Amino acid sequence: MPSVILKPGKERRLVAGHPWVYAGEIAKITGEPKDGDDVDIRDYKERFQGRGLLNTKSQITVRRFTTQKEELDKAFFRRRIEAASKYRVHGPAFRVVFSESDQLPGLILDKYDDYLVMQALTLGIDRRKPWIVEIARELFQPKAVIERSDAPVRKLEGLPETKGVLWGETDGKVRLQFEEFSIEVNLLEDQKTGFFLDQRGNYAIVAGHCAGRRVLDCFSYHGGFALAAAKAGAASVEAVEISEPANARARGNAELNGLTGKIEFICANAFDVLKKYDSEKRQFDVIILDPPTFTRTKQNVDDALRGYKEINLRALKMLPPGGLLATFTCSHHINADLFKAVIVDAAADAHKTVRLVETLTQSPDHPVLLAVPETEYLRGFLLQVMG
Ligand code: SAH
């Protein structure tokens, strides 16, 4: 078996349970493997540290799939995907495979009703797409398998963005019936794989505080929080989203749920809207802030923190005593301590005392590996402004 042999001491992260080998940690590669091939990972004394897939074009040169001496063949992928599926509670839409969290680095597999959507985020997975499609068909008997590898991270692997129907027939449209609301998504057109499945568990929690209250949902996408709030009997709901297609979808979803006229959809930059409402001294009882990631790198953390501070400060100023702020970050570089510090800072500037009602996180179909901090990325606080 071709091997990647590490420099002395560079096995430590792997031994501690983290599956990545960086380019700078490699002393030599033996046996002339090609990019995308299976390789053994060995420490400087050539002791076996697991088996993974190679891509010398990526800074993350090997991703470990197993610590055992087992073949990374189609049967292996089938076992892993089956195990991932067993771990999940199956609902109308859920993430079946979440990359490293299911010991399948680079593979995302989401199930929307009878349709499967995959993302191949690494070269190793990209090469094995035919296997993934066959396994997905065997295990789930879908009507179609769609690829949404139109993700910018593919560039880091030397791969172009791509999307399309890999198997079966579909126009991408699917209607999903959740407990809180129904939605329609287009799996071929909408952001990510169609929906932000990681927020699924948080709609009901936030909606539970919305009856009879004035709600502002910022960065609302298809209106998940806004729809749940309106269904729960909010007095008024405003949803702010910069993307026109997302806004149109959200409007359609309101209609689908008999909520036409109950939600005001605003297609605008949420930073501008928050600034304007703050200067007009507008008041809301519940504000949701679920922005896109403000940084994908460690270098931009300070800029990102300024962004979080600005929106949280403005939101807090608009909340009277008893008001609630549901605030999120999905940048894994913004750890819990940093995020908490920025909210504390914003609350101090807004002259508000806030208490933590609940800590919010990514839904359980996006599990976190304790030894792999990158798998934990969605952090949220549900805060109450005190008198
Ligand atoms: N809360 C949503 C997910 C939000 S994802 C849900 O539960 O489904 C972040 C959203 O913010 C995306 O839809 C993106 O289009 C939007 N967005 C990005 N920048 C924005 C901005 N400056 N103002 C308003 N919306 C923005």
Relative to the CA of 222, which ligand 1 atom is closest? 8
> Given ligand 1 and candidates 181, 219, 329, which is best to mutate, with the most ligand atoms within 8 Å of its CB?
219
Please report the pLDDT score of residue 297 as a whole number: 85
Relative to the CA of 246, which ligand 1 atom is closest? 13
8 Å CB contact between 206 and 217: no
Residues with active-site annotation: 330
Residue 100, pLDDT > 90, answer: yes
> Given ligand 1 and candidates 206, 242, 327, 377, which is best to mutate, with the most ligand atoms within 8 Å of its CB?
242
When computed from its CA atoms, the radius of gyration of the chain, rounded to whole angstroms, is: 22
Ligand 1 center from residue 58 Cα (angstroms): 29
d(CA 4, CA 22): 11
One-letter identity of residue 145: V
Give bridge partners of residue 30 from the DSSP assignment.
3
Q: Give the pLDDT confidence of 356-371 residue by residue, as tens digits.
A: 999 999 999 999 999 9
Where is pLDDT greater, at 42 or 297? Answer: 42
Q: Whose CA is nearest to atom 20 of ligand 1?
A: 242
Residue 266, pLDDT > 90, answer: yes
DSSP 35: T
Per the prediction, the chain carries an average pLDDT of 97
Ligand 1 center from residue 289 Cα (angstroms): 9
Ligand 1 center from residue 276 Cα (angstroms): 18
Report helix, strand or coil for 55.
coil
> Which candidate, 197, 200, 283, places its Cα nearest to that of 238?
283
Average confidence (pLDDT) over 197-218: 98
At a CB cut-off of 8 Å and minimum separation 6, what does 26 contact?
Answer: 4, 5, 6, 7, 10, 61, 62
- Give the pLDDT band (50/70/90) at residue 289: very high
Q: Whose CA is nearest to atom 11 of ligand 1?
A: 219
Ligand 1 center from residue 273 Cα (angstroms): 13
Ligand 1 center from residue 243 Cα (angstroms): 8
Six-digit token string for 34? 């090609």
DSSP 92: S
Q: Whose CA is nearest to atom 18 of ligand 1?
A: 292
Around ligand 1, the residues with Cβ closer than 6 Å are 191, 196, 199, 219-222, 224-225, 240-243, 246, 269-271, 290-292
Residue 296, pLDDT > 90, answer: no
- Give the pLDDT band (50/70/90) at residue 295: confident
> Given ligand 1 and candidates 206, 227, 241, which is best to mutate, with the most ligand atoms within 8 Å of its CB?
241
Ligand 1 center from residue 293 Cα (angstroms): 9
Calculate what percentage of the chain has a pLDDT beyond 90. 98
Relative to the CA of 269, which ligand 1 atom is closest? 23
Q: Whose CA is nearest to atom 7 of ligand 1?
A: 224
Average confidence (pLDDT) over 54-72: 98
Ligand 1 center from residue 240 Cα (angstroms): 8
Q: Whose CA is nearest to atom 13 of ligand 1?
A: 221
Beta-strand pair 107-112/93-98: antiparallel
- Give the pLDDT band (50/70/90) at residue 387: confident
> Which candidate, 350, 359, 273, places its Cα nearest to that of 319?
350
